[in-house]
Structure 1
Amino acid sequence: MNDINLSGAPDTSAELTVCLSFDFDALSAWVADSQNPADISRGEFAAVAVPRVLDLLDRHNTKSTFFIPGHTALAYPNQVLDIQSRGHEIGHHGWAHEPAADFDDDTQREIFAKGFDALEKVTGTRPVGYRSPGGSYNATTIDILKESGFLYDSHFSASDFHPYYLREGDKWSATDEYSFGTTIDLVEMPFAWHMDDYVHFEFYGGFSTTLNPPSTVREVWQGEFDWAYRHEAGGVVVICMHPEVIGRGSRLAMLDSLISHMAAHPGVRFERMRDYAENWRKQNSVETWLASSSPLVPRPFTAG
């Protein structure tokens, strides 16, 4: 599954998987940073958008993954239960969209626990996947993810179309050589900012100031899919969206058309992220992956 098809022709005998994912942030992305109720209402639109997104996924008979902060689960339990009842995966996305890098280890553990408690209270299940709010990690967050028993994470970018295993204990500085840590049994489902709808569609001073038309985003996302279909047999295309962003009319119409385009390709399937990560892990144990030819496996320098 780690091999790359360089023939340049579509390999219709091999599967390419698409994982559509949605960060249902809602109010949680705003309450810590803004005292402006107009800002907070931008997150509130997610309650309107989630049913639209779910109906679209139903029309395509497509299952996906929703990463949900605990704060959102308690604010909108009916929407969360609707997501669950329609067969979609629910992943962990913090408590109130906190950047992990801002907190010490004990506080991070408290945030993880609070998010778990809220999601389990509403859904009755414990998530196995995690996406960090804002892509924020510090040097020990991976240790805490391992402690928490996650199957996979999705906000690292060392790969684009193939999962890999994360490491704990890396050390780095601008003055010393990079020190690779220990590879652990935690699958990374690769993330890329250009595959995230927020940076293309939402204006928020100091973070995102671009307002692209849906046609531009379609060009970017479809271009990545088309390239992967030709070159990355067995790989996965991960798209990250937010109901309050993608759920606007013209954007949702673009997503509808893009899903149809991808589904029309022989050998393409749509999966929840946990399902793909579980299958990949079964086929690629840590030991097998470390013995593979992946360029992400750390290898000591050998002179000569």
Structure 2
Amino acid sequence: MSEDRRNLIGYGGRPPRIAWPNGAKVAVSFVINFEEGGEFSVADGDERNELVHEAIDDVGALPDPCTESHFGYGTRAAWWRIAGVFDRYGAKATVSSCGRAAERSPWLVQDAVARGHEVSCHGWRWQRHAGMDEDAEREVIARTYDTIAAACGVPPVGWHTRSASSLNTRRLLVDHGGFLYDSDAYDDDLPYFVEVTGRRHLVLPYAFDTNDMRFRPGGAFVHGDDFSRYVLAAYDWLVGEADEAPRMMSVGLHLRTIGRPGRIAGLETILRTISQSGTAWIARRDAIARHFIEEMEG
């Protein structure tokens, strides 16, 4: 039997006892997904419209200004509201940006950098990479990297594919050479290293449960405090486990979702509670990645 390509044991119940800065028990990563303008749209010449949003009404091959307007709320109104909440608590996030979103609204990623946030790569379009031709995927990765670097004046070091990556994605990221980490994994509460074509590469797992995507139809979150209660319950549990070894928690946000006035208080509750707990290190993903590497090499 050939060697199993999947690692199903991870740290085997013995996670490394790394030290987060200032004795923090949990490194908390807020990821603000910036996808507005990167979604599929027949009006933009795409073969279809995006179907993942709050008002699901498939108009087929016709232009869909309704869906475009839902996405447009994220840049026109929500970004400023979300950025203001982070500013109030002095918290830094990672803005995971589609390349075409950054190309269409460079002012947003520039504002994010000016506020001290990281801007990372979220694909060129808001699309999965599963089944993508290898040469096409290589071009997508390079185009996304170059566009974000040009818009921000700072080269990105992180990557996260929307949903399913391809079997080539991680190797292509390593071959590119500009990426410190990727987040195409959901399988741990700590970063970990993998070997890719003989080279060491860092994975910072992401999460779909501590994520505002659950406000979408069928996703279980309705009120802002549904989100905050769930995230804070996860945080409290990880703090309890940190006596054994520190942990990491990812909180996923989307401009057009958490930025609505009926939900934003949930984010503020999370930031206020965690920042005042004395047990959290709220940090950009690039900072977490670099600190983890230093700890593991020290």
Q: Distance in 2 between matches of 1:24 and 1:245?
A: 11
Could you tell me which residue of structure 1 aligns to residue 229 of structure 2? 219
Q: Is the 8 A contact 1:49 1:248 kept in 2?
A: yes
Q: Distance in 1 between matches of 2:249 and 2:39?
A: 25
Distance change (3 Å), C-alpha of 1:14 and 1:211:
closer
Does 2:296 match 1:284?
yes
Divergent runs of 4+, >6 A: none
Q: Following TM superposition, by how much is the alpha carbon of 1:250 offset from its aligned partner in structure 2, in angstroms?
A: 2.3
With normalisation by structure 2, the TM-score equals 0.81
Q: Following TM superposition, by how much is the alpha carbon of 1:209 offset from its aligned partner in structure 2, in angstroms?
A: 5.7
Q: Is the 8 A contact 1:49 1:243 kept in 2?
A: yes
Q: Distance in 2 between matches of 1:191 and 1:117?
A: 24
- Aligned letter for 1:141? T
Q: Is the 8 A contact 2:98 2:125 kept in 1?
A: yes
Could you tell me which residue of structure 1 aligns to residue 30 of structure 2? 20
With normalisation by structure 1, the TM-score equals 0.79
Structure 1 window deviating more from structure 2 (150-159 vs 273-282): it is 150-159
Q: Following TM superposition, by how much is the alpha carbon of 1:167 offset from its aligned partner in structure 2, in angstroms?
A: 4.3
Q: Following TM superposition, by how much is the alpha carbon of 1:105 offset from its aligned partner in structure 2, in angstroms?
A: 0.8
Does 2:31 match 1:2?
no
Q: Distance in 1 between matches of 2:98 and 2:236?
A: 32
- Aligned letter for 1:25? E
- Aligned letter for 1:164? Y
Could you tell me which residue of structure 1 aligns to residue 138 of structure 2? 109
Could you tell me which residue of structure 2 aligns to residue 139 of structure 1? 167
Provide, for residues 156-186 of structure 1, a one-character-per-residue CA deviation record: whole Å limited to 9, x for no partner.
0221x211123447xxxxxxxxxxxx6x422
Q: Is the 8 A contact 2:190 2:247 kept in 1?
A: yes
Q: Is the 8 A contact 1:27 1:41 kept in 2?
A: no
Could you tell me which residue of structure 2 aligns to residue 250 of structure 1? 262
- Aligned letter for 1:23? N
Q: Distance in 1 between matches of 2:171 and 2:80?
A: 36
Could you tell me which residue of structure 1 aligns to residue 8 of structure 2? none
Q: Following TM superposition, by how much is the alpha carbon of 1:243 offset from its aligned partner in structure 2, in angstroms?
A: 1.0
Q: Is the 8 A contact 2:174 2:196 kept in 1?
A: no
Does 2:206 match 1:195?
no
Could you tell me which residue of structure 2 aligns to residue 301 of structure 1? none
Q: Which runs of 5+ in 1 are unaligned?
A: 6-11, 170-181, 289-304
SS in 2 for 1:241: strand
Aligned ranges 1:1-304 → 2 under 5 Å: 2-3=15-16, 13-31=23-41, 32=46, 33-34=48-49, 35-47=63-75, 48-133=77-162, 135-149=163-177, 150-159=179-188, 161-168=189-196, 184-198=199-213, 200-203=214-217, 212-232=222-242, 233-285=245-297
Could you tell me which residue of structure 2 aligns to residue 9 of structure 1? none
Provide, for residues 71-105 of structure 1, a one-character-per-residue CA deviation record: whole Å limited to 9, x for no partner.
11111111121111111000011111221113111
- Aligned letter for 1:151? L
Q: Following TM superposition, by how much is the alpha carbon of 1:121 offset from its aligned partner in structure 2, in angstroms?
A: 2.1
